[in-house]
């Protein structure tokens, strides 16, 4: 395999293996994307990416990380997404959306305003989680979801998937990583329930499986469904969610209709010691791909074209997702094509530059 080989995902064909990773912009109003999101996502599509995935898009107002999150919990948001989706697609990329619920990490300040919990005069809202355990000192103490609350979360994901289809998206990624609600259920560090949604591995993964099944009920069989996970919590003594459990989860969800595991890590612990370095998460993607026999995506400090090519050529992942590097260079995919001596067609408006 090579970086610029196409990749089949159900009825879709990614034109190559470079994907724009979800990146929160914290710039929406009432969940509505605007011209910032059009330019941000559209420029990466013009830049040659095969697939552009939106930021974490909340399935409910309560599930937002911050006041600035985009959403798909009402029909006005569907209408706001439509022109953005059309532009991404008209620029040759597939348009994907990441659906998310922030759980106990909700009701937060914008990162450039501190990033902690919203103060009483900043219009905070009640946060929810598997258990009554705050993310960190100074964060809101969440309410534990009862079974009716859990089923409402599942229903919210289903409804948002239906709206994603109405907006024209062609791929959904479910966010079960970075310490947000679905990850909170997965990890024994945040899930101390004693009911059918806590305790054993099968119980802790139950809500993820229910969300996948609910989304697949309304998401067409011919369109792909991805799942983002944190492969490890980076907890001391491997005490939390870890790579072994991630492999097991991938084995569980493949028969439910998940087409690719987008493999990140961390986000559960506010003060985890993470050995960050170039490609530091790639071995997790490689192991899940090998042991669960499912397509994977690699992400995390992948900044060089040759690095991305090696990941694909060595069979460590099926796609490479770029985040911060694509913020620095929206045209990373076109630069990669030139470096690897591959021709990809530029927009006709930019043809004079090629």
Find the CATH number of the domain harbouring 278: 3.20.20.70
Pair 94, 171: CB distance under 8 Å? yes
- β-strands 7-9, 12-14 pairing: antiparallel
Contact residues for 119 (Cβ-Cβ < 8 A; gap 6+): none
Distance between CA 333 and CA 43 in Å, rounded? Answer: 12
Whether 2 is in a domain gets the answer: no
Whether 265 is in a domain gets the answer: yes
Residues in a beta bridge with 14: 7
Distance between CA 318 and CA 315 in Å, rounded? Answer: 7
| Cα angle 159, 24, 98; round to 5 | 30
Distance between CA 268 and CA 231 in Å, rounded? Answer: 11
Q: Per-residue pLDDT for the chain (354 aa), expressed as one digit of tens each?
A: 999 999 999 999 999 999 999 999 999 999 999 999 999 999 999 999 999 999 999 999 999 999 999 999 999 999 999 999 999 999 999 999 999 999 999 999 999 999 999 999 999 999 999 999 999 999 999 999 999 999 999 999 999 999 999 999 999 999 999 999 999 999 999 999 999 999 999 999 999 999 999 999 999 999 999 999 999 999 999 899 999 999 999 999 999 999 999 999 999 999 999 999 999 999 999 999 999 999 999 999 999 999 999 999 999 999 999 999 999 999 999 999 999 999 988 899 998 988
State the residue range of the domain holding 345.
7-353
Whether 296 is in a domain gets the answer: yes
Whether 77 is in a domain gets the answer: yes
For residue 266, give both structure tokens: 């961390």
Pair 235, 243: CB distance under 8 Å? no
Question: In this structure, is the dihedral angle defined by the CA atoms of residues 221, 72, 55 and 40, taken in order, positive or negative?
Answer: positive
* Structure confidence at residue 43 (pLDDT): 98
Distance between CA 181 and CA 78 in Å, rounded? Answer: 23
Whether 225 is in a domain gets the answer: yes
**% helix / strand / coil in the chain, to the nearest 5?**
40, 15, 45
Domains identified in the chain, total number = 1
Taking the CB of residue 306, how many other CB atoms lie within 10 A of it? 12
SS3 270: coil
Whether 339 is in a domain gets the answer: yes
Number of alpha carbons in the 13 Å side-chain half-sphere of residue 162: 11
Q: Has this prediction a pTM greater than 0.95?
A: yes
Whether 303 is in a domain gets the answer: yes
182: DSSP letter: H
Distance between CA 292 and CA 68 in Å, rounded? Answer: 36
Whether 1 is in a domain gets the answer: no
Cα 37 to chain centroid, rounded = 16
For residue 29, give both structure tokens: 């109003």
Contact residues for 113 (Cβ-Cβ < 8 A; gap 6+): none
Q: Which residues are catalytic?
A: 180
Longest dimension (CA), the chain: 64
């Amino acid at each position: 395999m090579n970086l610029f080989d196409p990749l089949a995902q159900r009825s879709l064909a990614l034109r190559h293996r470079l994907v724009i990773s979800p990146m929160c912009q914290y710039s929406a109003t009432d969940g509505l994307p605007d011209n910032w999101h059009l330019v941000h996502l559209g420029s990466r599509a013009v830049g040659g990416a095969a697939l552009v995935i939106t930021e974490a898009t909340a399935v409910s107002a309560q599930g937002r990380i911050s006041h600035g999150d985009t959403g798909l919990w009402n029909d006005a948001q569907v209408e706001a997404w439509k022109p953005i989706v059309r532009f991404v697609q008209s620029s040759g990329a597939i348009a994907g959306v990441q659906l998310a619920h922030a759980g106990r990490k909700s009701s937060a300040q914008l990162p450039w305003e501190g990033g902690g919990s919203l103060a009483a005069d900043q219009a905070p809202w009640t946060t929810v989680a598997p258990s009554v355990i705050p993310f960190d000192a100074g964060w809101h103490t969440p309410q534990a979801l009862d079974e009716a609350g859990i089923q409402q979360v599942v229903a919210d994901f289903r409804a948002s998937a239906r709206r994603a289809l109405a907006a024209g998206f062609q791929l959904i990624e479910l966010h079960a990583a970075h310490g947000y609600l679905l990850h909170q259920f997965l990890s024994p560090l945040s899930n101390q329930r004693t009911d059918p949604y806590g305790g054993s591995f099968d119980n802790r993964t139950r809500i993820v499986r229910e969300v996948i099944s609910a989304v697949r009920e309304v998401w067409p069989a011919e369109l792909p469904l991805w799942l983002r996970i944190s492969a490890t919590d980076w907890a001391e003594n491997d005490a939390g969610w870890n790579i072994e459990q991630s492999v097991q989860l991938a084995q569980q969800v493949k028969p439910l209709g998940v087409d690719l595991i987008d493999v990140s890590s961390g986000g559960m612990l506010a003060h985890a010691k993470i050995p960050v370095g170039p490609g530091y998460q790639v071995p997790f993607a490689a192991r899940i791909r090998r042991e669960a026999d499912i397509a994977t995506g690699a992400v995390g400090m992948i900044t060089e074209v040759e690095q991305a090519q090696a990941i694909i050529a060595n069979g460590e992942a099926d796609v490479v997702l770029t985040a911060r590097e694509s913020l620095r260079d929206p045209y990373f995919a076109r630069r990669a094509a030139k470096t690897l001596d591959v021709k990809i067609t530029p927009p006709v408006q930019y043809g004079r530059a090629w």
